[in-house]
Amino acid sequence: MAKKTKITKTGNISEWYSYIIQQADMADYSPVGGCIVMLPYATKIWESIQGYHNINLKKRGVENANYPLLIPQSLLEKEQEHIDGFSAEVAWVTEGGSEKLSEKLAIRPTSETIMYHFFAKFIQSHADMPLKHNQWCSIIRWEQTLTKPFIRGKEFWWTETHTCHSTKKEAEGEVSDGLKDYVNMCENLLAIPVIPGRKPQHDKFPGADYTTAIEAMMPDGKSLQLGTSHLLGQHFSKMFNIEFQDKNEKKEFAYQTSYGFSTRLLGGLVLVHGDDDGLVLPPKVAPLPVAIIPMWKTETKDKIITKAKKIKELLEKQNIDVVLDLAEDKSPGYKFSRWEQKGVPLRIEIGENELNDNTVCCVRRNWKTRLNNNPDLNKKEIIATADIQKQIPKILEEIQKELLCDAKKELDKRYSVAKTRKDFDKVIKEANGYCEAGWCGDEKCDEQIKEETAARIVLIPDKPKEKHAKCIVCGKPAKESVLFSRKY
Amino acid sequence: MAKKTKITKTGNISEWYSYIIQQADMADYSPVGGCIVMLPYATKIWESIQGYHNINLKKRGVENANYPLLIPQSLLEKEQEHIDGFSAEVAWVTEGGSEKLSEKLAIRPTSETIMYHFFAKFIQSHADMPLKHNQWCSIIRWEQTLTKPFIRGKEFWWTETHTCHSTKKEAEGEVSDGLKDYVNMCENLLAIPVIPGRKPQHDKFPGADYTTAIEAMMPDGKSLQLGTSHLLGQHFSKMFNIEFQDKNEKKEFAYQTSYGFSTRLLGGLVLVHGDDDGLVLPPKVAPLPVAIIPMWKTETKDKIITKAKKIKELLEKQNIDVVLDLAEDKSPGYKFSRWEQKGVPLRIEIGENELNDNTVCCVRRNWKTRLNNNPDLNKKEIIATADIQKQIPKILEEIQKELLCDAKKELDKRYSVAKTRKDFDKVIKEANGYCEAGWCGDEKCDEQIKEETAARIVLIPDKPKEKHAKCIVCGKPAKESVLFSRKY
């Protein structure tokens, strides 16, 4: 695809996003509208996330399982609020082989109902709890709105964890622990700073007591919800008869939670760190943290390639995955662009100078962003070949930190606190991100703001910057300090 | 579930299988007939298999991806032989949300068609190949026959690998490499000896040039197909326009393969190694290779538990997962049975004697089977506490080898070579397993045997024991030496 004018992130972020997702071989569009294939490059990132998260799940006593894809209609409809929330989005199987089924089967839009059918069998006594099952799978939600790879689609891949407890307090602790894991993972692995908090009651998960969530700010001033953790309380356990005998042999219904995140994280990763040249990946999740580009003339070719291979070997011994680009028919410039497009965090150049000086030349993928923050910066870092094994892991660690630090700065820039409606309108009009303000707690005020500004309440943050006295919409006493923003 | 008479493997293998699958917390039945939940204990085994196989895939340049679950009817029906083979088994989505879909969507029964739709876009030139994508997912086949957890079900989990090559020879090599990996994995990881070979043409994969497979013998004399590897040739590439420019700039269609195995492996694992007391798991895939059962009196309780904890710690430092059963309300005998039921390869008992002697007492899960082969064997092995870290890994390795060795002996007992129809009938009548014999190559002879004996050709083994002169059915000259057997 030859493009005449360069598609830029600041120019048209939506077009830019779709373009670089495809250019970086992350995803492609299925003939079924709204569905995608997640290609190997994206799958590798997702597998890194899975590996990281599985360790945390195990630490907290959560076990992986694989529940059925298909849910009978009667089971899905057992909890009224739940089915009301999902009925418009369910894909139904009505035929098996050549026969019409006697009961329609839903492809799971989420697995509460099918899992809790089983939980009722597994749980008899308080000794059977806590019960904590997780599954990694894809789910189908028949979205009526516009879809975008990873951000919103009819099929996506996710983790869903479901737990049962003998006390409400313990369940509340689980909701909170689950969300904390997500906060840490986003920051430490994906270098995405997120804001944890609670959803307003009118925006909670269908069938939950309350919903907590993490939100991340995107470069277009829109908030992206990256994970949720729900206290389900006894809503489902009463419907599904998840009953246990407590220590005094009294029967009680289990207290439940569910929490999850999806491949939407990959979308967030692209949006937050990417630039006009393509992806920018944090080293901890980059499928290839290092690209080595040898630059030879005929007389030095053999020596330079030998050196490049040796360096690849040294790094691989440290479990750093490296691509060594030996293509004969491509220029170094082409190769630079190609691996920048794929977001490879560190480029190592080896040419005549480096051969003679026993060095390598390193260029960080996030060099331009760093330059904005530090105009004295040199693009190129020269490292003695002998120091490779010591220096490269250090540089990769630095890049990881730089990405988080820069993303935090962006978030700070896009977080305003409004005392007056005038201040509020200015922030929202400029699409400048979050605006923290007071809210009386009435859904109508949220609705009104949405109609007037296209923004709405996205979160009641755990740690607002201020305690607000009045509702920014109606002026009545504020019950909560909330974040308003446009959202994905 | 209190059972009055013990369900035995030799008594009624089908009943035994269903019983221990549930008792060992491997699976449970979905309200949708023919579907199951794969519980954490089985999921852990499956994850071990995935981890092992992913390393092999990576070595051979295969990358993981995630393709869409849903396939438009028109795409599924592009290759005639393929859809003829699957049409009776497809689950169809006909409604999304509240609307009827304009085109029916199949839940993938296998992913050739959807993947090859994309491959046509990815491949332009010979330089784009080999292209090798794998995915781990669940698939739906609307089975009309009797289902059994892991062995045959409407939903199962699997790995499917799909590759494109620029020459037929390279594709044939891939088919063979894929199957070799499966043979090695079954033997080295699961301790299941398998026979590799080719399927008769009338039993090949719908749309393939030919199908190769691995078959394993079960204790009831039936053969279980555990993996397949197909040469698809150019059947699909011609239908899906997977075309490339070769080195001479001539257009040609790609040569394709596909190969896979499923959670049926877990069924094979249970059937091959299990005994009347429950599962018997090879240490390499056992979620818990070691169970420590402390046996205390009031006066020694603290010391014995302290010692048990120390041993657990020592083993965990060696990355051996250990369960230490400290339940107060259960007897040692109950605990022995419980962990035997779950197939834990090694039990470590720590009581008064072991405390005084600075030893532990080890019992191998497969002790009874070993006893049959070596009547002088002691059930208990006493090991000095100081030698734990040296001895336990060694014993686990030995158990792994013993299981494979015993399974090989069983296979040998159930492999006969028949020269005459009389010999053949005797083997088949006694349900004694494989009967190797000559075959003329005519499907009618296979059909005839099936009608007369319930056995049929399951494989044309790569290495038959003999070259047979005549077809065992019609007496005409034999083209192949084949294995007859009843099958799952």
Contact B8, B276 (CB under 8 A): yes
**Measured between beta carbons, which residues in chain B are less than 8 angstroms from residue A140?**
69-70
Report whether pLDDT(B78) > 50.
yes
What pLDDT score was predicted for residue A143?
84
Tokens 């935090």, residue?
A: A408
CA distance A77 to chain B (A): 14
Instruction: Note the pLDDT tens digit of each residue in B371-414.
Output: 877 878 888 999 999 999 999 999 999 999 999 999 999 999 99
ipTM above 0.85, yes or no: yes
Nearest CA in chain A to B71: A32
Tell me the two tokens of residue A450.
């949405």
User: DSSP secondary structure string, B131-181?
Assistant: EEEEEEEEEE----S--BTTTB-SEEEEEEEEEEESSHHHHHHHHHHHHHH
| 3-class secondary-structure state, position A439 | strand
Closest B-chain CA to A157: B66
Of B35, B36, B68, the CB nearest to A155: B68
Contacts of A155 in chain B (CB under 8 A): 68-70
- A chain contacts of residue B70, beta-carbon cutoff 8 Å: 30, 32, 35, 91, 140, 155
Residue B328 class from Cβ within 10 Å (0-12 exposed, 13-18 middle, 19+ buried)?
exposed
Range B13-273 has CATH code 3.30.70.360: no
Q: What is the DSSP string of B355-408?
A: HHHTEEEEEETTHHHHHHH-TT--SEEEEEGGGHHHHHHHHHHHHHHHHHHHHH
- The mean pLDDT of chain A is 95
Chain A residue whose CA is closest to B25: A122
CA distance B261 to B158: 6
Helix axes B388-413, B264-273, angle to 10 degrees: 90
> Are B96 and A64 a contacting pair at CB < 8 A?
no
Check the CA dihedral A176-A180-A183-A185 and report its sign: negative
With pLDDT > 90 as the criterion, what percentage of chain A qualifies?
90
Count of A–B CB contacts within 8 Å? 146
Nearest CA in chain B to A88: B97
Say if residue B107's pLDDT is above 90: yes
What confidence score (pLDDT) does residue B4 get?
Answer: 63
Q: Give backbone dihedrals phi and psi of A325, rounded to 5 degrees, phi first.
A: -90, 100
The tens digit of pLDDT for each residue in B119-153 reads 999 999 999 999 999 999 999 999 888 889 999 99
Identity of the amino acid at A333: G
A485 within 8 A of A221, measured Cβ to Cβ: yes
Angle (nearest 5°) at CA B359 between B353 and B363: 90
Can you tell me the mean pLDDT for A466-473? 96
Structure confidence at residue B1 (pLDDT):
47
Look at residue B3 and tell me whether its pLDDT is greater than 60: no
Residue matched to tokens 């040796």: A310
Minimal CA separation from B237 to chain A, in Å = 18
> Of B72, B137, B154, which has the smallest distance from its Cβ to A32's Cβ?
B72
Concatenating the DSSP letter of every residue in A328-356 gives: SSS-HHHHHHHHHHTT-SEEEEE-HHHHH
> Cα-flanking dihedrals φ and ψ of residue B439, to 5°?
-140, 135
The strand ranges marked E within A246-321 are 251-253, 255-262, 290-294
Enumerate the residues of chain B whose CB falls inside 8 A of the CB of residue A59: none
| Among candidates B43, B46, B96 on the partner chain, residue whose Cβ is nearest the Cβ of A91 | B96
CB within 8 Å: A35 and B94 = no
Of the partner residues A93, A142, A144, the one whose CB lies closest to the CB of residue B91: A93
> How far lies B112's CA from each of A96, A158, B69, B77, B259, in Å?
20, 24, 12, 11, 11
Ramachandran angles phi, psi of A10, nearest 5°: -75, -25
Cβ(A168)–Cβ(A255) below 8 Å: yes
A365 touches chain B (CB under 8 A): no
pLDDT, one tens digit per residue, over A429-453 is 887 899 999 999 999 999 999 999 9
Chain B partners within 8 Å of A91 (Cβ):
70, 93, 95-97, 105
* Cβ burial, residue B152 (10 Å; 0-12/13-18/19+): middle
Q: How far is A1 from chain B (nearest CA, A)?
A: 13
pLDDT tens sequence across B26-62: 999 999 999 999 999 999 999 999 999 999 999 999 9
Out of B66, B118, B144, name the one closest to residue A43 (CB).
B66
Q: Who among A40, A90, A138 is closest to B69 (CB)? A: A138
Mean pLDDT of chain B: 95
CA distance B412 to A468: 80
Residue of A nearest to B329 (CA): A127
Residue B344 in contact with partner chain A when CB distance is under 8 A: no
Beta strands in A120-204 (DSSP E): 131-140, 155-165, 195-198
State which CATH number among 3.60.21.10, 1.10.10.10, 3.40.50.2300, 3.30.110.30 fits the domain covering B415-487: 3.30.110.30
Whether the per-residue pLDDT at A98 is higher than 90: the answer is no
* B-chain residues near A118 (CB < 8 A): 28, 37
Q: Which of A35, A47, A95 sits opposite B92 (nearest CB)?
A: A95
Contact between chains at B91 and A89 (C-beta distance less than 8 A): no
Does residue A293 register a pLDDT over 90? yes
Give the tens place of pLDDT for each residue, B429-439.
Answer: 887 899 999 99
Question: Is pTM beyond 0.90 here?
Answer: yes
Contact B63 A72 (CB under 8 A): no
Task: List B residues 156-215 in contact with A (Cβ-Cβ < 8 A).
Answer: 157
* C-alpha span between B261 and A75 (Å, rounded): 31
Q: Which residue has the tokens 């088994």?
A: B89
Interface test with B, best of A28, A36, A37, A247 (most B CBs within 10 A): A37
Query: Quick one: average pLDDT of B449-459?
Result: 94
Interface-testing mutation among B93, B99, B113, B329, with chain A (most A C-beta atoms within 10 A): B93
Query: Is the Cβ of A33 closer than 8 Å to some Cβ of chain B?
Result: no
Instruction: Give the confidence band of A2 by pLDDT, cuts at 50, 70, 90.
Output: low
Whether residue B68 and residue A118 make contact (CB cut-off 8 A), yes or no, is no
What distance lies between CA B4 and its chain's CA centroid? Answer: 32
Give the closest of B37, B67, B92 to A67, CB-based.
Answer: B37
> Any chain A CB within 8 A of the CB of B84?
no
CA distance A234 to B354: 48
Q: What is the pLDDT of residue A374?
A: 80
Q: Which class is A290-395 in CATH?
A: alpha beta
Separation of alpha carbons A68 and B452, rounded Å: 39
Instruction: List all residues of chain A from 89 to 108 with a beta carbon under 8 Å from chain B.
Output: 89-98, 104-105, 107
Contact A47 B65 (CB under 8 A): no
Position B273 pLDDT exceeds 90? yes
Q: Where are the domains of chain B?
A: 13-273, 290-401, 415-487
Residue of B43, B70, B92 with shortest CB distance to A66? B43
Per-residue tokens: B294: 């402390």
Q: Kindly provide the b/e burial profile for residues B67-103, where b requires at least 16 CB atoms within 10 angstroms of the residue's own CB.
A: bbbbbbeebbbbbeebbebbeebbbbbbbbbeeebee
**Domain B290-401 -> CATH class:** alpha beta
Calculate how close chain B gets to A370, using CA atoms only, in Å: 33
What is the percentage of chain B residues whose pLDDT exceeds 90?
90
pLDDT at A378: 84
What local confidence, expressed as pLDDT, does residue A1 receive?
Answer: 47
Q: With 90 as the cut, is the pLDDT of residue A320 above it? A: yes
- Whether the pLDDT of residue A384 is over 80: the answer is yes
Contact B37 A137 (CB under 8 A): no
Nearest C-alpha neighbor of B78 from the set B88, B91, B87: B87
- List the single best residue of A55, A92, A111 to mutate versus B (max B Cβ within 10 A): A92
Query: In this model, does residue A3 exceed pLDDT 60?
Result: no
Return phi, psi of residue A445, to 5°. Answer: -65, -35
User: Which of chain B's residues have a Cβ under 8 Å away from the Cβ of A50?
Assistant: none
Give the minimum alpha-carbon distance from B28 to chain A in angstroms, rounded to a whole number.
8
- Distance CA(A482)–CA(B445), nearest Å, equals 77
Q: Check CB contact of B22 with chain A, cutoff 8 Å.
A: no
pLDDT at A373 over 80: no
A35 touching chain B per CB within 8 A? yes
Distance from CA of B170 to the nearest CA of A (A): 22
Biggest distance spanned by C-alpha atoms of chain B:
86
B95: Cβ contacts below 8 Å, ≥ 6 apart: A91, A92, A94, A104, B101
